[in-house]
Amino acid sequence: MPALWRRCFSILFSSILVSSLLLSGGRTTLSAASDLPAAHSSSTIVRYEDAILQGYGVEKLAAPQDGDSLYDGEGYVSFFYDFDPASSQPDGTATFKVEAAAAGLYALSLGYYIPEGYGAKEAGIRVNGTDVGGITLDAPPASTVVHEKMVSKIALNAGTNEVTFTRGWGYYGIEYVRIEPAGLPFASSTIEAEDGLMSGEVSLGSAVEGFSGSGYAAFKSSGSLTLSYNAAERGLVELTIGYSAPYGDKKTQLTVNGQASEVSLPSTSSYAEATGGKVMMNKGTNTIRFDSGWGWYNIDYVKLSPASASNQHQVENKLVNANATVETKALMRYFVDHYGRNILSGQQTLEDAQWIKDQTGKYPAIFSTDLIDYSPSRVEHGAASTEVDKAIQWAKEGGIVALVWHWNAPAGLYDTAGKEWWRGFYTDSTSFDVQYALSHPDSEDYRLLLRDIDAIADQLKRLQDARVPVLWRPLHEAEGGWFWWGAKGPEPAKQLYRLMYDRLTNTHRLNNLIWVWNSESPDWYPGDDVVDMVSVDIYNPAGNYGPSIAKYDSLVNLVQDKKLVALPENGPIPDPEQLQTYAAHWLFFSTWTGDFIRDGKYNTMEHIQKVYSSDYVITRDELPDDLYTSFRYEAEKGTMTGLTVSTAGSGYSGDGYVTGFDEDGNTLAMTVNVPVSGRYTLSIRYKAQGDKTNPVLLNDETLADYVFKNSDAWTDGVVGEYELQAGNPTLRIGKSWGWIDVDFAELQYLGPILPKAVVSYSSANPTNQDVIAQLTANKPVTITNNGGSNRYVFKQNGSFTFTYIDADGHTGSVTATVTNIDKTPPSFSVTADRTVLQTPNHALVPINLQWTAHDADSGVAGVQLASVTSSEPDNGSGDGDKDQDIQDAKIGTADAQIKLRAERSGKGNGRVYTITYKAFDHAGNQTTASVLVTVPHGSKS
């Protein structure tokens, strides 16, 4: 929010502050400039008396201010005065001339004086005529009035430099400035091999001409060379090796501060350079050692130069919401990949974004807008908004969306002249007490807080449903106090932020938000567990295009360089060249609306053209088409076995590429983060010397023996499409045919795993039972027919189709067809070659049997003799007293011949033998058939 919008609040605040200053009381004593710290061996101090003053108001003083009894220093440059718009002179400045031994980045510290009760102050700074940005002078510790603070990094030229301070807020004094080197010098540092310690078969050589210095280290089959390097600060450097290898390709073992790697030295009879990759140098002494490796080569020198600063950041590609959508995770990965390499352009309001396109031919990458008119207390007054619709359309056109919420107070709007209802987000326009509301969760005010958050959740849900991730920056500028959410200090503001995070994330399941906190003060920071990115709003004076390095470094220190740092509101746009010079790695800027972008003063047209044409600035047309679906994994960040990182040539991404794959066992392993379970395309960017087939594995399971086609240019090769589960598997590229270079691997999200279902049921064997078909899916689905059941009972042969839908709305169907139900028994009949035994002569008579069985469904499985019975018992009365009347009847077999005795009782009506067979089919159905054989009573032997 620009300062102009806060003017009313600031005037009120200033009045209160002046009153409090006039009431300041007793003090204790503390020495100041007389006890000035001695300059470190690497630092330079310039005192107040050497400052050059210009303009009105500024002066050199020794006396304390406003009756202060604590100050007893020798003196200071006084900025204890108010801005005078009527003065014919410019506002006062103080210039300190400082000497720098070499061009580079330096840490600038100030010794300053602020009386008790005056609070923190802001000042402006210019270096050699160029605005650098604002600096913050913290209030000195309790009971003190002087303090030293490292306020900014500045870029100095070798020799004399001018560091100029402008008044800013005023009411402070500067006792001295201190500068000391902030990192490695801009120029490269070269260490000659002959200055190192040589051991074993390594000796000083000079026979091969063309070396630098006075000689080189000649390696044979064993030994080592050890070099020392004293670094001014800890930092990442590029290590380059000057060498010659007249006896063919060689490899050396390089160890830097205990971290070993193998470096290839391609064959060359003259002197050449090979990269040793990026290495971390500690502040102070560092050890660089070469062990012989393959031997028979020469090391001439080692050159160290500052590496790409982006690699020094410790930002992890991880969102605080583990359930973030795939689009949100993809955007976060893009941010992390580009942090420190580029700055993304941004603009508040779609109308101003279009104006930029009209002037420059390019849209900003980020469209920032406000949910202000979705606030319920504004809706109640007739406000309406289409900003969410604009944001959805912007994302469809390939851009990034950022949202802020000027939250109109839920209640207590004064709605009087100068404090109208539409100004209800200002502290001075509402009586709403956030501290009271939060400390009384049963109150109406607390309920209204939740009501408002829920109303905004509805709008954010529209964006989530449209698959739009959002840079979400609620409760911005809280520490200023001019908005009601910050009016009661840091604790209520942090509590409200955490309440909002919990309600939006856990109650409303909003997983499309990247949470941006907007303050550099540690006291106001709500915690790492609810913040993805930190930021501050900066409105430098018109035309001040400085990098605001002090603010940037303050944010980096706040989060220990573990989170992204952004500039979500600015007046003048930071100059891209200064951003790179100062390593002020703001992830993005977003210029405020109206005059701040269009008036030609805050940002001249020349400056806007420069920014939007800079290679360092990303515009919307430069965002990738797969911004919300791509996950890239740089090869050089993987684990290498027998491989090296190279920066030769151009066109690669990241900090280099992996080369080698020329020996058995050479392997590149990359841990890939699969953000959500889904379908992905895996591709690898590579170059190959001829067609090369190498294995590609995921968690040691082969995905493909992929053919890397011959290519001198970087080529994107699609390995295949795969269904992957969320997690962190290891992708490996091994060596088979070898000789490839790998830049990166990339997963392209295609969509969720589609539902697939199978129906299991018994179909292999005939059955005379009901068949139960059961559906099983690869993911949770809802059955949309069959009463929602995944079981269907077949009582007869036929087909049934299950239909289903998953949580993403994908539908499917699967059909079960049953043909093996057979509940009908076979048709069956039995005949015998003799059915009447006319002569009861007590003889055993063979009976031959035949049958006919048929089953049209499952077929006849078999026939068995079930039983042979007689209507009269053995040895019946008057039958001749013979037993075992039934013989050779093999029950349970397909016995087709039995013996029956021709015998009957003399007192009966004749004897009847019943021969019964059963036939059964393959389904288990069975039927019986019988034939009768009689011995008539009237027959005689």
Please say whether the beta carbons of 819 and 809 come within 8 A. no
Q: Are strands 284-291 and 366-370 parallel, antiparallel or unpaired?
A: unpaired
**Averaged pLDDT, 516-523:** 94
CA terminus-to-terminus distance, the chain: 130
**Averaged pLDDT, 168-181:** 94
The CA distance from 226 to 202, in Å, is 11
What is the three-class DSSP state of 713?
A: strand
180-184, 457-461, 656-660: range with lowest mean pLDDT? 180-184
Residue 316 amino acid letter: E
**Averaged pLDDT, 817-833:** 96
pTM over 0.75: no
Name the average pLDDT for the chain. 90
Q: Catalytic site residues?
A: 477, 569
The CA distance from 142 to 144, in Å, is 5
For residue 876, pLDDT over 90 is answered with no
User: If we measure between CA atoms, which residue out of 533, 566, 562, 563 comes closest to residue 551?
Assistant: 566
Cβ partners under 8 Å of residue 551, min gap 6: 133, 134, 136, 520, 536, 538
What does the pLDDT read at residue 26? 30
Look up tokens 């709007």; give the residue.
413
Which has more pLDDT, 594 or 28?
594
Please say whether the beta carbons of 603 and 593 come within 8 A. no
The CA distance from 504 to 521, in Å, is 25
Looking at the DSSP bridge assignments, the partners of residue 516 are 533
Proportion of the chain above pLDDT 70, given as a percent: 92
**Averaged pLDDT, 568-574:** 97
What does the pLDDT read at residue 2? 59
**Cα→Cα distances 810→577, 781, 788, Å:** 50, 9, 16
What does the pLDDT read at residue 278? 65
